[in-house]
């Protein structure tokens, strides 16, 4: 998050990967479980009713079937004309009575307790008539009529509830429950009706079985309810622990980036009013890694915890702060932009003194989040934080404390960088890069002695100067591809001009320092130039002075090989701020180019002349050709000519030009000198740079 600005595509990918935590609805779940418990209890009650009814019905039908079988025995004897043995029948079936078709009692055994006011036809379990000749009657002793009546019954309509009441009325009593009733089998062979007293006794064992059945089901329902409640509470506790772990920054013992992103967007949705202004801040601990390197990881983490604590102590409780690496993202509610900047300045001032033994630097990037309706629908906090990071990166090179606010220019710059990175390879393939040539002249004779190859990018919208894309290529490493491209095209042009009969002079091509990690660089350059058929002496390899401070042995090896292959090697930007004298001592160069800074309006011209004069003398002592860059007026030319400078490259003689114009220069006996070159150069050719982006 600190090292680079993310593209829009990366933001979208991170959005998809972001974990969306939703708080579990425990209260709703408990209410749901409660109603489920009530429902299951009702189901249990219904199950008891069904069970009891079914149990009693089974017993009742068993008695009815028995009564019918006894009546059939009696009916068979009568039909066959046999004498009915009533005594034997009494011993077999107990209490019964036989009534003829006129209502006279033919025989009775036992007490006659039939309640003729309560009667019903009999239906089977599925509701079909059980028998057209069978009815049931109540018993005057028990008052019970089983729930087996058919469609013609209107008596004892609430039999189910009555059954349940009867069944449980004696619960807990020691005696058994007698539920006797009478079964009447009508229309026998002699027209008689056979009445049988059915006896059903509910014993203590029946009660125990029913109670156990109900208890088991009740316990299962209760246990299930308790398990669901405990599970909900456990899930809530687990969710809170997981959220804490996910949102925890173990260094500062507070919040991390995930918490900032999710909770921050929730806050932006909550405060959707246009009156609520928010800003996102990327606050970075500058050179934190250096502190860790000099101390320890443990001390570094302790320092980050101190920084976090200091920040949270100096922001409002409703503001947000987290930690990621050595940066501290913040979401701050504000009323005035200037007031917010002052608050951030105050925080940075306190952070600089967070440790009495050190003075630290902190940089902050700020992006103000617009109060728009879209903020409520899609807060895009990560995008605004990314903008704040871009603002902070714009001041990162200084290393000092500071604040930067994101603006449209930063966004446009980032879009341009993305555009360049996307198009760079296709630009090479389509040969959109154009070689410009800036001539070099002998100041004593005004004779053309050489040139430097510079690059322009020809796009559909116009020519793009090198300063707009060379630094991007250097950052991405694509500069090596451009170097190869330039060497090839310069060699191709030189070969074409030699074949056309022009008096060609050496053209220098700048090679980036990024190339010097390649041990076969000299061979690569040789092979490219040979493939175009160009003589080696017409291509000069130019190295920037900064390349001399990488791997000096590798550089020395490459220079030696290049010179063996017949190439001249020059040092560009001599005197631009590095230890040039030490470089000259170690490296056998052919050409020394004096940096344009020597000739850019020094207040002390006498001191300037002394330095330039000694530099030229030093180069001659080392058998090196000298070239002065950036020369813009005649006085400078006269001075350099007097001191023995070999060549001059600058707007006084010529600006960088396309290949066709350069051919015209090669054909001309004298250059077109511009007396006021210094003034015109600032107007007509801003940003003339070499392949590495250095100003000429």
Write out pLDDT tens, residues 189-215: 888 999 999 888 777 777 677 778 777
Average pLDDT over residues 585-603: 78
pTM of this prediction exceeds 0.85: no
Q: What is the CATH number of the domain that holds 612?
A: 3.20.20.450
Q: What digits encode the pLDDT tens for the residues 381-438?
A: 888 898 899 899 888 888 899 999 988 787 788 888 888 999 999 999 999 999 999 9
543: Cα within 13 Å, side-chain hemisphere: 31
- The three-state secondary structure class of 625 is strand
Tell me whether residue 290 is in a domain. yes
Burial label for 133, CB within 10 Å (0-12, 13-18, 19+), is middle
Tell me whether residue 227 is in a domain. no
Asked if residues 493 and 509 have their Cβ atoms less than 8 Å apart, the reply is no
Q: What digits encode the pLDDT tens for the residues 613-659?
A: 988 998 899 899 999 998 988 988 999 999 999 999 999 999 999 99
Within 10 angstroms of residue 292's Cβ, the number of other Cβ atoms is 17
Tell me whether residue 695 is in a domain. no
Tell me whether residue 228 is in a domain. no
Q: Considering 359, 380, 406, which residue would you say is the last residue of a domain?
A: 406
Q: Considering 364, 389, 406, which residue would you say is the last residue of a domain?
A: 406
Structural tokens at position 86: 């009533």
Among candidates 289, 364, 367, 369, which has minimal Cα distance to 328? 364
157 in the same domain as 63: yes
Does 339 score more than 80 pLDDT? yes
449 in the same domain as 367: no
- Position with higher pLDDT, 457 vs 88: 457
602 in the same domain as 467: yes
Tell me whether residue 217 is in a domain. no
pLDDT in the model for residue 690: 45
Structural tokens at position 427: 């630009």
Asked if residues 691 and 541 have their Cβ atoms less than 8 Å apart, the reply is no
Tell me whether residue 244 is in a domain. no
Among candidates 670, 218, 249, which has minimal Cα distance to 439? 670
pLDDT in the model for residue 437: 96
Residues listed for the chain:
696
Sequential DSSP letters for 160-194 = HHHHHHHHHHTTT-SS-EE--EEEEE---TTS-EE
419 in the same domain as 387: no
Q: How confident is the model at residue 25 (pLDDT cuts 50, 70, 90)?
A: low
Does 221 score more than 70 pLDDT? yes
Does 97 score more than 70 pLDDT? yes
pLDDT in the model for residue 669: 61
Q: Show the domain range for 492.
A: 415-684
Distance CA(402)–CA(106), nearest Å, equals 123
Element housing 222 (H / E): helix 204-247
Distance CA(360)–CA(549), nearest Å, equals 29
User: How many domains does the chain fold into?
Assistant: 3
Tell me whether residue 166 is in a domain. yes
Least confidently predicted of 46-50, 274-278, 653-657: 46-50
Among candidates 326, 325, 320, 339, which has minimal Cα distance to 281? 320
202 in the same domain as 96: yes
274 in the same domain as 187: no
Q: What digits encode the pLDDT tens for the residues 110-151?
A: 888 998 888 888 876 555 666 778 888 888 888 777 776 554
Tell me whether residue 6 is in a domain. no
593 in the same domain as 526: yes
Q: Considering 147, 181, 210, which residue would you say is the last residue of a domain?
A: 210
471 in the same domain as 557: yes
Does 687 score more than 70 pLDDT? no
Element housing 229 (H / E): helix 204-247
478 in the same domain as 377: no
620 in the same domain as 559: yes
Asked if residues 689 and 470 have their Cβ atoms less than 8 Å apart, the reply is yes
Among candidates 184, 137, 142, which has minimal Cα distance to 163? 142
pLDDT in the model for residue 455: 95
435 in the same domain as 398: no
- What's the helix, strand, coil split of the chain in %, to 5? 50, 20, 30
Sequential DSSP letters for 394-419 = TTGGG-S-EEEE--HHHHHHHHHHHH
* CB-based contacts of 251, cutoff 8 Å, min separation 6: 301, 304, 305, 323
Asked if residues 454 and 466 have their Cβ atoms less than 8 Å apart, the reply is yes
Distance CA(182)–CA(135), nearest Å, equals 9
Angle separating helix axes 381-393 and 257-270, nearest 10 degrees: 120
Helix-then-strand count for the chain, H and E = 21, 25
Q: What sign for the dihedral angle of Cα 534, 536, 537, 542?
A: positive
Distance CA(506)–CA(649), nearest Å, equals 13
Does 663 score more than 90 pLDDT? yes
Among candidates 694, 443, 450, 451, which has minimal Cα distance to 573? 694
Beta-bridged to residue 369, according to DSSP, are 278
Q: How far apart are the first and last CA of the chain?
A: 36
Q: What is the CATH number of the domain that holds 372?
A: 3.30.70.270
What does pLDDT average to over the chain?
80
Beta strand pairing status for 462-464 and 448-459?
Answer: antiparallel
pLDDT in the model for residue 375: 56
Burial label for 212, CB within 10 Å (0-12, 13-18, 19+), is exposed
Sequential DSSP letters for 326-365 = TEEEEEEEES-HHHHHHHHHHHHHHHHTSSTT----EEEE
- Position with higher pLDDT, 251 vs 566: 566
391 in the same domain as 423: no
Least confidently predicted of 428-442, 509-523, 612-626, 677-691: 677-691
Q: How confident is the model at residue 567 (pLDDT cuts 50, 70, 90)?
A: very high
């Amino acid at each position: 998050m600190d090292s680079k600005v993310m593209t829009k595509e990366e933001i979208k990918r991170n959005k998809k990967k972001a974990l969306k935590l939703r708080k579990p609805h425990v209260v709703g779940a408990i209410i749901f479980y409660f109603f489920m418990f009530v429902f299951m209890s009702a189901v249990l009650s219904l199950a008891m009713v069904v069970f009891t009814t079914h149990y009693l019905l089974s017993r009742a039908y068993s008695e009815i079937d028995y009564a019918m079988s006894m009546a059939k025995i009696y009916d068979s004897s009568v039909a066959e004309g046999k004498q009915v043995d009533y005594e034997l029948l009494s011993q077999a079936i107990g209490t019964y009575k036989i009534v003829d078709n006129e209502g006279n009692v033919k025989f009775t055994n036992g007490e006659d307790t039939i309640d003729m006011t309560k009667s019903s036809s009999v239906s089977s379990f599925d509701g079909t008539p059980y028998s057209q000749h069978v009815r049931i009657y109540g018993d005057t002793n028990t008052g019970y009529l089983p729930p087996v009546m058919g469609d013609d019954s209107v008596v004892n309509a609430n039999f189910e509830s009555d059954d349940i009441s009867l069944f449980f009325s004696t619960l807990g009593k020691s005696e058994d429950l007698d539920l006797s009733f009478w079964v009447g089998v009508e229309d026998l062979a002699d027209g008689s009706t056979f009445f049988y007293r059915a006896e059903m006794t509910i014993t203590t064992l029946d009660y125990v079985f029913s109670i156990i059945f109900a208890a088991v089901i009740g316990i299962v329902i209760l246990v299930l309810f308790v398990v669901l409640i405990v599970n909900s509470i456990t899930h809530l506790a687990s969710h809170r622990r997981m959220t804490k772990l996910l949102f925890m920054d173990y260094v500062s013992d507070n919040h991390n980036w995930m918490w900032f992103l999710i909770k921050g967007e929730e806050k932006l949705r909550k405060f959707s009013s246009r009156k609520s202004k928010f800003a996102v801040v990327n606050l970075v601990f500058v050179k934190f890694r250096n502190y860790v390197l000099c101390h320890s990881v443990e001390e570094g983490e302790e320092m980050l915890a101190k920084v976090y604590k200091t920040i949270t102590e100096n922001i409002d409780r409703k503001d947000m702060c987290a930690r990621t690496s050595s940066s501290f993202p913040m979401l701050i509610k504000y009323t005035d932009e200037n007031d917010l900047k002052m608050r951030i300045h105050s925080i940075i001032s306190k952070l600089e003194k967070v440790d009495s033994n050190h003075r630290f630097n902190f940089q902050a990037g700020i992006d103000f989040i617009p109060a728009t309706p879209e903020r409520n629908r899609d807060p895009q906090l990560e995008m605004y934080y990314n903008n704040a990071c871009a603002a902070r990166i714009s001041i990162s090179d200084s290393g000092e404390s500071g604040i930067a606010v994101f603006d449209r220019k930063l966004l446009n710059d980032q879009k341009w960088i993305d555009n360049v990175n996307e198009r760079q390879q296709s630009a090479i393939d389509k040969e959109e890069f154009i070689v410009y040539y800036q001539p070099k002249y002998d100041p004593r004779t005004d004779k053309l002695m050489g040139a430097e190859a510079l690059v322009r990018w020809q796009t559909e919208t116009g020519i793009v100067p090198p300063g707009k894309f060379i630094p991007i290529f250097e950052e991405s490493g694509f500069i090596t591809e451009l170097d190869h491209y330039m060497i090839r095209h310069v060699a191709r042009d030189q070969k074409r001009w030699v074949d056309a009969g022009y008096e060609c002079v050496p053209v220098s091509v700048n090679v980036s320092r990024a190339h010097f990690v390649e041990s076969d660089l000299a061979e690569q350059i040789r092979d490219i130039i040979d493939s175009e058929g160009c003589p080696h002496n017409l291509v000069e390899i130019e190295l920037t002075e900064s390349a001399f401070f990488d791997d000096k042995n590798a550089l020395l090896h490459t220079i030696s090989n290049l010179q063996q292959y017949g190439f001249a090697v020059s040092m560009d930007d001599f005197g631009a701020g590095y230890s040039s004298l030490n470089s000259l001592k170690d490296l056998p160069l052919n050409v020394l180019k004096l940096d344009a800074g020597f000739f850019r309006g020094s207040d002390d011209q006498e001191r300037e002349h002394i330095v330039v004069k000694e530099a030229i003398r030093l180069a001659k002592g080392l058998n090196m050709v000298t070239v002065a860059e950036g020369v813009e007026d005649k006085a400078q030319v006269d001075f350099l000519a007097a001191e023995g400078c070999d060549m001059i490259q600058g707007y006084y003689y010529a600006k960088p030009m396309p290949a066709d114009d350069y051919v015209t220069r090669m054909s001309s006996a004298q250059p077109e000198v511009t007396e006021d070159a210094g003034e015109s150069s600032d107007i007509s050719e801003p940003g003339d740079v070499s392949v590495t982006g250095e100003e000429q």
